[in-house]
Amino acid sequence: MKRFAVVNYKGGTGKTTTVVNLAHALTLKGFKVLIIDTDPQGSAGYYFGLSPQKTLYNVLIEKESISDCVVNVRHFLDIICSNERLFPAELKMGSMKERELVLKSQLATLSGYDYVFLDCAPSMNLLNQNALLFADEVILPVSMEYLSLIGVKQLLKNIKIINRIFNRKVSITNVIPTFFDRRNKKSKDIIESLKRVFLNMVSTPVRTCTSLSEAPSKHKTIFEFDPDSFAAEDYYKITEELLYGR
């Protein structure tokens, strides 16, 4: 079971879009996938049109079993949703023993999935630290804006600190350029900067694509809403890179 945290402290860089579409693409290839939304905004559940009774709050605070809190959304695809209740959850976790490891310990017996994707909030909070300590690898979607690079530096620094304090080896293994426009010099400059730091960890970019912004309102992934779009092509390629390398 491979665990990916999809993180960027900057908002709106395509984290949730990446989680939903990579997860669905992997199920179409026959893998079993679980999405865990750790963001109190609850966007991942919204993508699938859910407003569930049980959320990650029940797992983290009420210590309920995972099987009681997952919702099946597609063949081979389950999700543990989140909503605004997760905000007080974070406050409660603050006073727990080993507060950074609550998610890891609650999910210690998790099995039956090939891939787990954690959709993270755009902030440096305790839930994100929990996500980084549960994950083996980090996927970093970076939008083609100069300010995105600041968030990337902060994340690298925090991962280093977490690895040192908790004796872990979590690392960024996939950097996904998002909102890419090949006609735009800024897009090319930012990809060059990313490649200087992350070398071959930089994936195929996801082009800016209207269908991708319309799909959530229809509660569909890009492979259902517009399978012939650029974005479907890009996310399919990125999935192949995850599976077979680049």
Q: Which residue spans within the chain are E strands per DSSP? A: 2-6, 33-37, 71-74, 77-80, 115-119, 137-143, 171-178
Which of Mg ion, ligand ATP, none has residue 21 at its interface (CB below 5 to 8 Å by kind)?
none
Residues 32-61 that bind ligand ATP (CB under 6 A): 39, 41, 43
Report if residue 159 touches ligand ATP, rule: CB under 6 A: no
Among positions 65, 184, 200, 213, the unique one binding ligand ATP when judged by CB under 6 A: 213
Size of the site for ligand ATP (CB under 6 A): 20
Which of Mg ion, ligand ATP, none has residue 122 at its interface (CB below 5 to 8 Å by kind)?
ligand ATP
Between CA 225 and CA 219 the distance in angstroms is 9
Report if residue 43 touches Mg ion, rule: CB under 5 A: yes
- 157's CB contacts (< 8 A; 6+ apart) are none
Long-range CB pairs of 216-224 (<8 Å, 24+ gap) are 216/17, 216/43, 216/46, 216/47, 219/46, 219/47, 219/48, 219/49, 221/20, 221/21, 221/24, 221/47, 222/21, 223/21, 223/24, 223/25, 223/28, 224/24
Which of Mg ion, ligand ATP, none has residue 14 at its interface (CB below 5 to 8 Å by kind)?
ligand ATP
- Residue 213: CB minimum distance to ligand ATP, A: 4
Among positions 21, 106, 178, 187, the unique one binding ligand ATP when judged by CB under 6 A: 178
Residues that bind ligand ATP (CB under 6 A): 11-17, 39, 41, 43, 122, 178-179, 206, 208-209, 212-213, 216, 231
